[in-house]
Chain A
């Protein structure tokens, strides 16, 4: 069953018959799914439904988990993500990720954002500081930190730290940004700022967000995918999924009957 989003939008990422296993446990069951370019796609579903596994499979972060195995195909711009010639390190420079808990490095604010460039061997000071400023501005953090770039990243509030992590991901100029419950550890005001930020970023980036918060999915995303027990139940335009879902299980979930 090929579930597609609006045909007018280019498919940035596409998975076909994608299954994932942790040892003998199957976490994803033959998922067919496309993530459209320069749109926000939300993935919702109850805990353990496989939405985080799906997200982490896209930039091969699951490679580090012993016993992880996948079947099927995952494509970025039509190229195999799990192809034999693909270097996961280079892949992750194209598909950035922001995690549930803010995880800044034990470095200054400046060095946190510059780190992605440093590991690519960018040395030119003027170039680095330009990109650091640009990234911090893009993450709506510049005005708050411009006077203390040399200060510790841990002196920032939780919400600021999360925006710093977004700036850090933006600095390597990825094409896709994966957000794994980016606001679940934040207060409502910080959450609102992250959501605004996502709207600003979607002109330039393809964004995929996993969220536990259905209101958040409804507010920020253009497309919503509903996962249940490792399977993709339904995907479509967010307004339709939330007002007129095809599948009764989707309706049960979004109306709060389970999950």
Chain B
């Protein structure tokens, strides 16, 4: 073996990397490391600051009791906020998941048509609309009777639907992208067997893209969880859990709104509660994220090896 290559040996450059390449390796490697640190530091900082400032208020009862005392919230926990956030997510998802996924499927299937191009453009424009604008429009359309005569007042339904409309373009976008990532050859394989477009979508495209679609829905949910501005105009806040989702008693609590209100109160104790609530919200987001990852592992039974 040695002999075969011996002829070429003298012409080869010295073994190992040149000094220049070693320096470049080191510099680029360090930049990557720094970028990583910059990216994760905010998360660690949020968790640390929220825990450090809010730890006095943290206990199991913080997530299982309603706020009480005067000013309201000085005692008790944030159950109203957790329940309200869940209600808002459910309402927003009920609107945005069917519409967004359907729109994503349409853009994938008919993507080259003019109508699809217009849909994509408008959907992307909606992504850039500031949430405070959504709030004002939601207020006119859902809360007052000036728009379509709904007159739902400051209510969970008005807020949930407004948040749902914020979510639709996110779900649409990510659904279309997830479907586009399904290899074309895979789709053609089914079409060549005599499958209809609907069968291809149902049996192959959606199952292959389901992880991506789930991620898109989660991204939308996480976005909605953190929204405060739209709620100021459509729901505001409730210290309890309402019996109805419309009308003057239809407001729900909301974690993000609760943090916003507590921070504005001139009370040290409420500031502590706000930081504890921030930690609860962050943990909910992390749990949701991990949940979707676990779900996507489950669906990879027959997945192609990377």
**Given A108-B302, A119-B203, A93–B189 Cβ distance below 8 Å?**
no
- B194 touches which of A92, A108, A152, A154 (Cβ 8 Å): A92
Separation in Å of the A197 CB from the closest CB of chain B? Answer: 18
Which A residues, 110 to 136, have Cβ-Cβ distances below 8 Å to chain B? 115-116, 118-120
Cross-chain contact A107 with B302 (CB below 8 angstroms): yes
Which B residues, 180 to 224, have Cβ-Cβ distances below 8 Å to chain A? 183, 185-186, 188-196, 199, 203-204, 207-208
What would 15 more interface pairs be, CB under 8 Å, given A61-B191, A105-B203, A119-B193?
A: A64-B188, A89-B194, A93-B194, A99-B189, A103-B185, A103-B186, A103-B188, A105-B190, A116-B193, A116-B194, A119-B196, A119-B199, A154-B304, A168-B189, A172-B193
Residues of B within 8 A of A118 (CB): 203
Cross-chain contact A119 with B195 (CB below 8 angstroms): yes
**Complex Cα gap A146–B185 (Å):** 26
Is the C-beta of A189 less than 8 angstroms from some C-beta in chain B? no
Is the C-beta of A220 less than 8 angstroms from some C-beta in chain B? no
Is the C-beta of B112 less than 8 angstroms from some C-beta in chain A? yes
Is the C-beta of A29 less than 8 angstroms from some C-beta in chain B? no
Cross-chain contact B303 with A154 (CB below 8 angstroms): yes
Cross-chain contact A99 with B185 (CB below 8 angstroms): yes
Separation in Å of the B5 CB from the closest CB of chain A? Answer: 26
Number of interface residues of A (CB under 8 A): 31
Q: Which 10 A-B pairs have the closest CB atoms?
A: A93-B194, A97-B192, A103-B189, A92-B194, A116-B193, A152-B302, A103-B185, A106-B302, A66-B112, A154-B304
Residues of chain A whose beta carbon lies under 8 Å from any beta carbon of chain B: 59, 61, 64, 66, 89-93, 96-97, 99, 101, 103-108, 115-116, 118-120, 152-154, 165, 168-169, 172
**Complex Cα gap A64–B191 (Å):** 10
Which B residues, 255 to 306, have Cβ-Cβ distances below 8 Å to chain A? 301-305
- A61 touches which of B188, B204, B304 (Cβ 8 Å): B188
- B195 touches which of A89, A104, A107, A165 (Cβ 8 Å): A89
Cross-chain contact B196 with A89 (CB below 8 angstroms): yes
Which B residues, 120 to 176, have Cβ-Cβ distances below 8 Å to chain A? none
Residues of A within 8 A of B204 (CB): 105-106
Q: Name the residue of chain B whose CB is nearest to the CB of A120.
A: B194
- A96 touches which of B183, B188, B193, B301 (Cβ 8 Å): B193
Separation in Å of the A193 CB from the closest CB of chain B? Answer: 20
- A153 touches which of B188, B203, B302 (Cβ 8 Å): B302
Separation in Å of the B197 CB from the closest CB of chain A? Answer: 9
Residues of B within 8 A of A105 (CB): 186, 189-190, 203-204, 302
Cross-chain contact A169 with B193 (CB below 8 angstroms): yes
Residues of A within 8 A of B194 (CB): 89-93, 116, 119-120, 172
